[in-house]
Structure 1
Amino acid sequence: MTGWEITHVDDDTAYLGDGPIQLAFQRVEDYRGLAGPTRPSTPTSTSRSPTPRSP
């Protein structure tokens, strides 16, 4: 993803980079990602073609 070297890994964390800037990832127990938008069962708006502009 970044091309950076993985400098540390254990059961809960991973670190990338070996210098003044590092990137860390941490596992969170029982984390559930965002559910995201749901689709309505019926359309809530109508689709219309754009109105042509006159020159």
Structure 2
Amino acid sequence: MRTLVAGFTLQSKKGITMKVRASVKKMCDKCKVIHRRGVVRVICENAKHKQRQG
């Protein structure tokens, strides 16, 4: 699933979707901003809060 709109979602082979944004921010207290392989990501218990900068 890919939508070519600002803040589109990206679906990996595992079927997990993630928001792709120019600016990633914490959405709740449980969100964590991490850096993996030069990419800034937000991970959270709430799947709707998952983001990747790009």
TM-score, normalization: structure 2?
0.27
More helix by proportion, 1 or 2?
2
TM-score, normalization: structure 1?
0.27
More strand by proportion, 1 or 2?
2
Q: Which structure carries more relative contact order (alpha carbon 8 Å, separation 6+)? A: 2
